[in-house]
Structure 1
Amino acid sequence: MSTPGTTHAPIRFGVVGLGFGRCHAKVLSTLPGARLVAVADLDPEAQGIDLEPWAARLGARGHRDALRMIEEEDLDAVVIAVPPAARRRIVEAAGERGLAVFLEKPFAVDEAHAEEMTALFDRFPDMPVMMDFCLRHLPAVRRLRELLDGPLGEGLVVNADLVLPRDDSPGWVWDTAQGNGIVNENTCHLLDTLCCLLGEPVSVQAAGGSFLGSPLEDGVAVTLRFASGAAAVLTGGALGAQALRTPATLSVYTRHGQARLSGRDHMFNDLEWATADSADAEHEGWPLPGRGEISAAALAHFVASLHAGTAPAPGRDAGVLAVRIAMAVRTALKSGATVDI
């Protein structure tokens, strides 16, 4: 197996889990600098996939055993897109083969599981690991990050909204031993984006609960305080309507002005901003990717990092932090108190 970063040969990928992982596979099959070699799913029929012809259309081989795929195929990296509780043996196999890992969120089921997974990854200190917190890699968010480091100055107060449609999540998301709730499994995208923009969070307050009879909280209003003194208010959960296609908004008031991100299908693609002394607002927009291409920019960053021999971002620490915040939200919901992170 060639070593990523030492040649210009494509990074050879395997993808494990063809629920949402099918989207990663399709992106990788055409992504410059990457080559999709193989895919694996224990029960592809449950995903509506006829495995061998489906994989062949992408130029890959299909497997029903992820461990066998990792053992038999000549890979540089693996995308792990199965629920958190099913990842341990896959991570071990990848680490023993010296593969890089692109890991779907959430990083873990809860804080105890996050500690276990951290100890597992620590066994492979040279393994490049990237969390698929794909929103921070969208062009609109990257541009906002540049503006906060430039003319707008640091973010002070943020209002953000990302709420999934009701009945849009598979059952494992609501299982405390699997996804452990929609905040941990999906609102974590917004939690990571806020940390990317505002820095280290220090405490959380929350209100909400299970409004539609979900096993865990399905709607939350959260206030986050950051070490910088910045504050963010966000709404998350799964109370939305399919017809509105998951609108996403984020307004930030900064040291020298303000900005607003907006979009739909979980993604931001429109940015308006102005400094306090601007005569007119600036408007910047980007094409909205298809829903199945939401991770394309993140995967492109991962591939570029492997070619360059640099650490991809965000790494596993960002995954651990998102789990800690999600669990702090639940604690705050139950206690009504401010919870330190």
Structure 2
Amino acid sequence: MTKIGLVGLGKMGISHFSIANADPRAEIIICDASGYMLDTIKKYTGCTAYKSFDTMLEKEDLAAVIIATPSRLHAPMVRAALEKGLHVFCEKPFCLDPAESAALAKLAADKGLITQVGYHYRYVGAFQEMKRIIDSGAIGTVTHILAEAYGPVILKPKGKTWRTDRAEGGGCLYDYAAHPINLLNWYFGEPDRADGTILAPIFSADTDDEVYSTLTWNDGTSAHVSVNWSDESYRKMSTKISITGTKGRINADRQECQTYLRETTDALPEYEQGWNVRYTTDLTQEVAFYLRGEEYSAQMYDFISAVVGDGGNPVNDFASATQTDRTMAMMITDHQSAPTTKRAAPLVAKKKRSWLGR
């Protein structure tokens, strides 16, 4: 079996561990600062465990690492792994400084290493179908996009954690808005301008709970980003992309891809004039191990397959994630340069926090 290290045993780290550990091609070595987490997982799985990332890299003959730590730790950990010649899967966002993102993407490319960043929506069948339709030209010239994400994450003032501190890589922009922005980058590339960006608190004291911005490309295409993670009307995170073109429109979310065509086209012979609906359940390939959603398993299976030389074609490499990091940085710069009336953030009790993974 191929040895793969995993650092960070928080929410996403535990998910990635469960999926990767179920793959018979991989032996997972775990690392975290929490002795309790390490002891518990080691007890029930028998995995080798480390408290130090550097020690794990030094002592284990790893082929790859999975990094699921708080965002501010991504860059130094990714660099350490790449310099050891290891393939890397890193949770999103890739890096908080897009200059670091670009440097690490170049380092990985120069070394010929496999890289992946955890933007799992690219593995959702409905969003994959949306890309296929866009690329076919069936809806003509795209004129405008609405990229949305809403969910009930922060619903009241609460103590401080790394997820509620923008300097640590927390907040609605990095945690929620990054997903629809990454889909925009996948579909249309990197935008050239951000205007009217709002990064506003609702309940948080140190970061944004809602994100709004207009992105434009030099070819005239525009997109409006509308994201709020303090929206109790949604049971869980909901991401939706709506695209308007000269010959039709497409709406896609986690459940389905709806396409309206003004006329039939040879590029999509299975699609009729008018409305067409394709459901994610029909568009998604079965995965060997299901946890939370097929897309989480599919992205990890793709990464491990590429690492062990068994096919695999990761679609979220460091270069593409760098586009998303630069887009978010551009939005932050626009927000900081614009005179705005700031909403007063609530006062909350400060809470001691640790470096534990997500």
Q: Which TM class, normalised by the smaller chain length? A: 0.7 to 0.9
Q: Describe how 1:232-243 pairs up with structure 2 within 5 A.
A: 232-241=223-232
More RCO (CA 8 Å, sep 6+): 2
1:22 aligns with 2:24: no
Unpaired runs of 5+ residues, structure 1, are 1-9, 263-267
Rate the CA distance shift 1:58–1:143 in 2: closer, same or farther, 3 A: farther
In structure 2, which of residues 222, 228, 238 is the aligned counterpart of residue 231 of structure 1? 222
1:282 aligns with 2:272: no
Secondary structure of 2:17's match? helix
In structure 2, which of residues 324, 337, 353 is the aligned counterpart of residue 322 of structure 1? 324
Q: Is the 8 A contact 1:164 1:246 kept in 2?
A: yes
Identity %: 22
Rate the CA distance shift 1:188–1:228 in 2: closer, same or farther, 3 A: same
Q: Describe how 1:1-341 pairs up with structure 2 within 5 A.
A: 11-19=2-10, 20-31=12-23, 34-43=25-34, 45=36, 49=37, 51-55=38-42, 57-58=44-45, 60-111=47-98, 113-114=100-101, 117=104, 121=107, 125-150=111-136, 151-153=138-140, 155-167=142-154, 171-179=161-169, 181-208=171-198, 209-241=200-232, 244-262=235-253, 268-277=254-263, 278-287=272-281, 290-291=291-292, 294-306=295-307, 307=309, 312-336=314-338
Distance in structure 2 (CA, Å) of the matches to 1:284 and 1:137: 15
- The amino acid that maps onto 1:283 is V
Q: Which residue of 1 aligns with 2:287?
A: none
Unpaired runs of 5+ residues, structure 2, are 264-271, 285-289, 340-358
C-alpha deviation, 1:335, in angstroms: 3.0
Distance in structure 1 (CA, Å) of the matches to 2:305 and 2:143: 32
- The amino acid that maps onto 1:12 is K
Distance in structure 2 (CA, Å) of the matches to 1:153 and 1:54: 52
C-alpha deviation, 1:136, in angstroms: 1.3
Aligned length: 317
C-alpha deviation, 1:175, in angstroms: 2.7
C-alpha deviation, 1:308, in angstroms: 5.4
Q: Is the 8 A contact 2:145 2:242 kept in 1?
A: yes
C-alpha deviation, 1:213, in angstroms: 4.3
Secondary structure of 1:244's match? coil
Comparing 86-95 and 327-336, the one that deviates more: 86-95
Distance in structure 2 (CA, Å) of the matches to 1:62 and 1:15: 10
Distance in structure 2 (CA, Å) of the matches to 1:31 and 1:253: 41
- The amino acid that maps onto 1:276 is R
Q: Is the 8 A contact 2:6 2:67 kept in 1?
A: yes
TM-score w.r.t. the length of structure 1 is: 0.80
Q: Which residue of 1 aligns with 2:356?
A: none
C-alpha deviation, 1:122, in angstroms: 5.9
Rate the CA distance shift 1:321–1:244 in 2: closer, same or farther, 3 A: same
Secondary structure of 2:230's match? strand
Backbone CA RMSD of aligned residues? 3.0
Deviations 1:284-339 (A, max 9, x none): 222497537652222222233332578733222222222222122222223339xx
Q: Which residue of 1 aligns with 2:269?
A: none
C-alpha deviation, 1:269, in angstroms: 3.0
Secondary structure of 2:154's match? coil
